[in-house]
Amino acid sequence: MQSVAESLKALAELAGRPPVSVVAQAFADAGHELALVGGPVRDAFLGRPVHDLDLTTDATPDEILAIIAPLADAHWDIGRAYGTIGARIGGETVEITTYRSDVYDQVTRKPSVEFGTSLEADLLRRDFTVNALALKLPEQVLVDPSGGMDDLLAQTLRTPSTPEVSFGDDPLRMLRAVRFTAQLGFQADTETLAALTDMAPRIENISAERVNEELSKLLRSPKPRRGVELLTSSGLAAYVLPEVPALRLETDEHHHHKDVYQHSLTVLDQAIDLENERFPGEEPDLTLRLAAVLHDIGKPATRKLEPGGVVSFYHHDVVGSKLAKKRLRALRYDNDTIADVARLIELHLRFFGYTDGAWTDSAVRRYVRDAGPLLERLHILVRADVTTRNRRKADQLAFAYDDLEARIAELAEQEELDSTRPDLDGEQIMSILNLKPSREVGEAYRFLLELRLEEGPLGEAEATRRLLAWWSARA
């Protein structure tokens, strides 16, 4: 973390950014208070990039609009009921919210939105002290009613009120605590940790959509493992992602196997490292990270204790794929994400047959065809799945996958593998066999596709000869 002097300089620079300084002067001229609040203040102090410009004010939503409209390229009031007005100024987005003093009934978990008049009171209703910081503008005075600055320096997560009250007001804050341990690298204090465990069942009162959002933010963080570990140890995972704690399989004195839970977390770490290595600067790949966490969730259901102390998990890839679909649907993920994660889990063991014996070119083509647009993600997942401490075995698998990727590249260059198609299309098949659109055309197409995969490009003349021979034998 940067020094205090560097942090104060960063805060001053943030306050001086044109969108912030322009808005601050406009509110001061109108006789209203304005302050940067929460995440941007915290991140500037920590030396992290500041993306969101969140401000708070004593002005009402109507007054905010009147002040902001002449300055903005565009403005919107979709959050007006909650006191929030958004605007685009000088190419940057700002959100300005009226001071709030919400009241929670501790039953429905939905606040009765009430506007407040005090910045300090607004800050004390926030989730964690490190987010309950404000920088008054334009005078640049730091407001910290709950000791958030001390907690930033100590890298501690603590709630402004008691955690029981804070989490009771909004149980989603428990998942936010989990996320912040990963995003910020902070440690929740003793009282907060105890409340996470004691109050974990209350997370069931939160909608799947809100849970989805927090889980996704957690997995998109640079080092999500720490958050996943807290999610599991606190008991929250048992309610939102129960397949993960189920990976902590019991062992007995006769049958031993590696810790599947820790293995899965290591796969997540290694997948992220490979993702950053292969696609530097790109956005975190949520699909890949979900697949890494969930790739072995079929093991508990398929675990079998074999003679001689061997433990088997036959078909855990297929079972895990189905379980992942079910869980991700329950969490309201979109259909494409669900299908892609499930497919990656289903395919993640396919490569390990490559080390048993040389694959034919047709087997390589099938691997590519079955992975389709997920091929690059599958490369990463399969490589990340190697967590053995046996260096010789790890090197052997790495060399084998290097060889497979080299063969895929070679075949792709020779045959345009990414767009594998039969040598004849549907129109040509119908013309050659004198058919109208029908099931038989589809069967003929699949026959030619199999030939293409097995033998590579045949050319139109040879494909026609083979097609006629197949049709004659079929008749």
Do residues 138 and 7 share a domain?
Answer: yes
Q: Are 318 and 295 in contact, with CB atoms under 8 Å apart?
A: no
Q: What is the mean pLDDT of residues 106-133?
A: 82
Same domain, residue pair 183 and 331: no
Q: Between residues 252 and 257, which one has the greater pLDDT?
A: 257
Query: What is the predicted pLDDT for the residue at 5?
Result: 83
193 and 318 within one domain: no
My answer on whether 396 and 252 are in the same domain is yes
The reply to whether 189 and 291 lie within a common domain is no
Instruction: Tell me the two tokens of residue 412.
Output: 């792709």
- The residue that leads in pLDDT, 454 or 414, is 454
- The confidence score (pLDDT) of residue 312 equals 78
DSSP-derived secondary structure for 66-129: HHHTTT-SEEEEEEGGGTEEEEEETTEEEEEEE-B--B--SSS---B--B-S-HHHHHHTSS-G
> 56-70, pLDDT tens digit by residue?
999 999 999 999 999
Mean pLDDT value of segment 180-192: 95
DSSP for residue 398: H
Same domain, 18 and 140: yes
Tell me, what amino acid is at 54?
Answer: D
Clarify whether residues 413 and 356 are in a common domain: yes
Domain shared by 441 and 374, yes or no: no
> Degrees (nearest 5) of the Cα angle 177, 181, 185?
150
Q: Which residue do the tokens 């620079």 mark?
A: 13
Quick: pLDDT tens for 271-327: 999 999 999 999 999 999 999 999 999 999 998 877 766 777 889 999 999 999 999
Q: What is the pTM of this model?
A: 0.83
pLDDT reading at 420 higher than 90: no
- 125 and 183 share a domain? no
Of 407, 332, 397, 421, the residue nearest 375 (C-alpha):
407
Whether 213 and 234 map to the same domain: the answer is yes
Residue 419: what pLDDT?
Answer: 58
Identify the domain boundary among 119, 149, 179: 149
CATH code for position 219: 1.10.110.30
Last residue of a domain, one of 188, 218, 241: 241
Compute and round to an integer the Cα radius of gyration of the chain.
29
**Mean pLDDT value across the chain:** 90
Which of 131, 149, 167 terminates a domain? The answer is: 149
235 with 349, same domain: the answer is no
Could you tell me if 292 and 324 are in contact, meaning their C-beta atoms sit under 8 angstroms apart? no
Question: pLDDT for 16-31, tens place per residue?
Answer: 988 999 999 999 999 9
Which pLDDT score, from 0 to 100, does residue 252 have?
Answer: 46
Task: Give the model's pLDDT for residue 415.
Answer: 64
Q: Are residues 354 and 468 in the same domain?
A: no
What one-character-per-residue DSSP string does 152-167 give?
Answer: HHHTEE--SS-HHHHH
- Model confidence pLDDT, tens digit, residues 381-396: 999 999 988 889 888 8
Residue 94 has pLDDT above 60, yes or no: yes
CATH number for the domain harbouring residue 382: 1.10.3210
**Among 203, 59, 186, 83, CA closest to 129:** 186
Domain count, the chain: 4
Q: Is the pLDDT of residue 254 over 50?
A: no
**CATH code, domain carrying 26:** 3.30.460.10
Residue 87: closest CA among 26, 12, 141 = 26
Mean pLDDT, residues 144-169 taken together: 95
> Given the structure tokens 């799945």, which residue do they identify?
385
CB contact burial 120-150 (16+ within 10 A = b; e otherwise): eebbebbbbbbbbbbbbbeebebbbbbebbe
Identify whether the C-beta of residue 283 lies closer than 8 Å to the C-beta of residue 258: no
Q: Domain of 195?
A: 155-241
